[in-house]
Amino acid sequence: MKIKLNIWKQANAKAKGKFEKYELDGVDAEMSFLEMLDSLNEKLIKEDKEPVAFEHDCHEAICGCCSLYINGHPHGPGNETATCQVHMRSFKDGDTITVEPWRAKSFPVLKDLMVDRNAFDKIMAAGGFVSIDAGQAPDANANLVSKIDADKAFDAAACIGCGACVAACKNSSAMLFVSAKVSQLALLPQGKVEAKRRALNMVAKMDELGFGSCTNTGACEVECPKGIGIDFIAKLNREYLCASIKEAE
């Protein structure tokens, strides 16, 4: 396969970037998208040119590093797949593929296709944890959790924090991410203790960091590699409203 690439190149966070055109021959249809970028970089290094910087780690859609906006889709074509699960068979010979970094004020570009997603860590640090003393591993039946809640919490916990929701949202809203984290903990007995404070603090941090607000387009749930639904956003809205009322009492 012969592929034409249109890739965002930016020397550093302060530099002004631009799109660079590349052509890559001999692309195997069974290559993953990241392998294709590796082979492009090998070629560039041989030609004594600057390789393209992109982030990747686990290659099994768990780490959430491989954050590329490919042809108008965060994580490229395909449902519930991260960039590392995209294969070149999704493209045709001679295709032009445009690769961009996540675009959001809160995710500044560090270099080329790499963005700084520390904003998510800051939101997590604001309340995305359980701080009560859990002590020794409790008896399996000491904390009863209904199957429904356990399943729901697990669905929310599938979030890998890749930021595709922010990248897909026309408002660069982090509501899907925050809603998954808030819901996951609020549904379980250990997390319920601090649920109110958590919702208030995480939303306040999200706003402070310059993410937009949710206008319910649902683009985030379509592009989420883990299939997290916007029903969690409704839950976050509920949690936040209840916490605000409780706080006022």
Partner 1 sequence: MSKFFTSSIGQKFFMSITGLFLMMFLCVHLIINSLLLFGDGELFNEAANFMSSNPLMKVIEPILALGFIMHIIYAAYITLKNRMARPQAYKVVSKTKVSWASKNMFILGGLVLVFLVIHLANFFWKIKFGTVATVSADGHELHDVYSLVAGLFKGCLLYNVLYILGAIFLFFHLTHGFWSAFQTIGWNNNKWIGRLKTISYIYAIIIAGGFAVIPLYFIFKYFV
Task: Pick out residues in 156-175 that bind partner 1 (CB under 8 A).
Answer: 168, 170-173
Interface with partner 1: number of residues (CB under 8 A): 51
Told to check if 138 binds partner 1 by CB under 8 A, we report no
CA distance 237 to 117: 24
Binds partner 1 (CB under 8 A): choice among 44, 80, 98, 110: 98
Q: Does 105 bind partner 1 (CB under 8 A)?
A: yes
Structure tokens at 38: 């590796």
Q: Are strands 73-74 and 69-70 parallel, antiparallel or unpaired?
A: antiparallel
Among 54-62, 83-91, 103-111, 132-140, the segment contacting partner 1 (CB under 8 A)? 103-111
Phi, psi of 62 (to 5 degrees): -115, -35
CB of 84 to partner 1, least distance (A): 20
Partners of 111 in the β-ladder: 114
Q: Does 150 bind partner 1 (CB under 8 A)?
A: no
As a whole number of angstroms, the distance between CA 96 and CA 2 comes to: 9
Q: How far is the CB of 31 from partner 1 (least distance, A)?
A: 22
User: Which residue, 110 or 222, has its beta carbon nearer to partner 1?
Assistant: 222
Pairing of strands 114-115, 109-111: antiparallel
CA 8, CA 22: separation in Å to the nearest integer? 11
Amino acid in position 170? K
- Name the residue nearer to partner 1 (CB basis): 11 or 45: 11
Extract the tokens encoding 187.
């549904």
69 binds partner 1 (CB under 8 A): yes
Question: Is residue 129 involved in binding partner 1 (CB under 8 A)?
Answer: no
Name which of 172 and 184 has its Cβ closer to partner 1. 172
Task: Look up residue 74 and give its DSSP letter.
Answer: E
Identify which of residues 36 and 219 has a Cβ nearer to partner 1 in the complex.
219
The answer to whether the CB of 174 falls within 8 A of the CB of 211 is: yes
Question: Residue 115 corresponds to which tokens in the numbers above?
Answer: 């963005």
Q: Does 151 bind partner 1 (CB under 8 A)?
A: no
Helix axes 231-248, 195-208, angle to 10 degrees: 110
Q: How far is the CB of 236 from partner 1 (least distance, A)?
A: 8
**Choice from 91, 120, 177, 240 touching partner 1 (CB under 8 A):** 240
Q: What whole-number distance in Å separates Cα of residue 173 and Cα of residue 156?
A: 17
Contacts to partner 1 by CB under 8 A: 6, 8, 19, 69, 71-73, 98, 100, 103-106, 168, 170-173, 200, 203-204, 206-207, 210-219, 222-223, 229-231, 233-241, 244-245, 247-248
